[in-house]
Amino acid sequence: MGVISDFCDQVIASGRYQELDRNYVMNQLRALVGDEDVPTQAGKLVSQLVDLSISREKIEDSITERTILSDQLYDFLAPLPAQVNEHFWNLAQVSPQQATDWFYDLETKTDYVKADAIKKNIEFTRTVADGNELEITINLSKPEKDPKAIVAAAHAAANQYPKCALCMENEGYRGRLGYASRTNHRIIRMNIGGETWGFQYSPYAYFNEHCIFLLGEHQPMKINQQTLVNLVEIERQLPHYFVGSNADLPIVGGSMLAHEHYQGGRHTFPMMKAPIKQAVDFPAYPQVTAGIVDWPMSDLRLQSTDTTALINLGTHIMTTWQNYSDPMLMIDAGDGEERHHTVTPIMHRQGDLFVLDLVLRDNSTNEQYPLGIFHPHEQLWHIKKENIGLIEVMGRAILPGRLKAELAEVKRYWLGETNEIAASHLSWAKEVQSQTTITPTNVDEVLEQAVAQVFSDVLADAGVFKRDDEGAAGWQRFIEQL
C-alpha cells in the first residue's frame, strides 16, 4: 500500500465512487502525480500527493500550481454539484440547520473552506470605553500572491472567464495564474425573489459558517426594496443564519461591487447585541417596533413579525435617506447625478421576529477627507485604512496581516526592548503608554484593548450622526423628515 492507494481508499469511502471504480480512480490519480506508488508518510495525504507530483516534475513548485492540484485532488472527495444540491434540499425539508451543517462539513472536508489557513488568524474580543464589545481579527489566512500571478494579472485581458470570483461559472473551474482554483467548489441553488441565486461558503471565513449568497447573473450590486424582500426570503429559508449586504457605493461599499451578493452565517455580532438607546415611533407602521441603536455607526433597527410592514418601512427609510442632506453635519445626498447615500442592511431572526438593522452610509469626500468624510480618518490609518464593509459595521474588525509583526514591535517599544517600531504607530504607542503602566504581564492585554479602541474610533468616524449633542440633534432632524 502507498499514498496513492490510501487516498483512493478515502475517495471510495467518501461515497462519490464505488469499489468497482477503484482502477479508474487510481488511474485518474496517477495521471496527476505519476504512476508509481510510494509509502505513506505522516501528514495529510493530499499534501504528500502534491509533493510527489512536484518531485516528478508533473507540476511546477509554485503557489498557483500547488493550489490547483490540491483542489483537484480534494474534488475526488466531493459529490457532483447536482448530487450536493439534491442532498442539501432533502435535508432542508427536515431541518435547514441540518442541511447547512452537512454542507459546511462537506466544504471543510474537501478543503474548499480552508480550515487550516483560517486557524492562522489572530482573534480576540474586547469591551471598549463606550461599553460595546468589539471583535478583532488580524487576517493571516489568505495565501501570499504568486509572483508569476502578479505579472500575469498586469497583462490579463479585460474580458475574461469567469467574469468575477462570485460568478456561478466558478464551480469546478481549474484556476490559472492570478485566478483562484475552484475545482472543489460547490454552490447550492436557491430561488430568491423569483430569481436564481447561489449559496456557498467563504473559503477564508471571518466568522462561524461565513457564507455568501450570489445572484445567478453577473449584475452590479444595488440596494433597494428588492434587497429587503430577498433578505426576508433568505431568512425564511435559513432562519438560523443572519444575512446582510454591503453598501452599493464606493468607499462605503465592499470589495466586490460588480456582482450582486450578500453575506451571512451563524454568528451573533456585537452590533446585534447592542441595545436600543432611543425608541422611534412610526404611526403608519404600528406592526413595527423601531429605534436608534446604541452603536458607533448610525443604525436604525426595525423589528416585526409582519415582514410586509418591515419591508415597506425599511424602503421608506432608505428612500428618504438617499435624498437627505444636513449641511451642519457635512451630510450630502449628492447633486442628482452622483449619489452619495445608501445603507448597509442586515437581517436576523429571533424566533418569529424579523430584525432589520439599517446602517446609514455616506460616501462624500472633501479636501480635508479625500478618502471619505465618513471613513476612518488619517490618525487611525496605522491600524485600519481600508473600507468599512458589512462585517466591520457589525463590530468585527478585519485588520491587515502586516499588523502581526508591527504590533510585536509596539510591545517591544513599550517594554523598553530593542525594537523597530513603525513611525506610523509611534504617537499612538506613546499616548497609550502615558495612560497606563505596561509590564510583561499585562502588555498583551493593553495592546488588545488599545487596538479595539482604535477600531471603535474607526466606526465612530464612519457614523453619519456622531454620539454627541450635535449628532443627537441630527438624528432628530432626520427622524422628523421620516
pLDDT (tens digit per residue) in 433-457: 999 999 999 999 999 999 999 999 9
Which residues make Cβ contacts (< 8 Å) with residue 62, sequence separation at least 6? 146, 148
pLDDT attached to residue 246: 95
Distance CA 330, CA 471 (A): 11
pTM: 0.94
Q: Which residues lie below 8 Å from residue 147, measured CB to CB, with a gap of 6+?
A: none
For the chain, the average pLDDT equals 95
Q: What is the pLDDT of residue 158?
A: 62
Which parts of the chain sit beneath pLDDT 70? 143-159
Q: Which pLDDT score is estimated for 145?
A: 60
User: Could you tell me how many residues make up the chain?
Assistant: 482
Spatial distance between the Cα atoms of 114 and 112, rounded to a whole number of angstroms: 6
Q: In angstroms, rounded to a whole number, what is the distance separating the alpha carbons of residues 392 and 455?
A: 9
Q: How far is CA 133 from CA 210, 346, 364, 393, in A?
A: 20, 18, 28, 13
pLDDT at 155: 58
- Which pLDDT value is given to residue 152? 60
Q: Rounded to an integer, what distance in angstroms lies between the CA atom of residue 289 and that of residue 310?
A: 9
H or E element in which residue 341 lies: strand 341-350
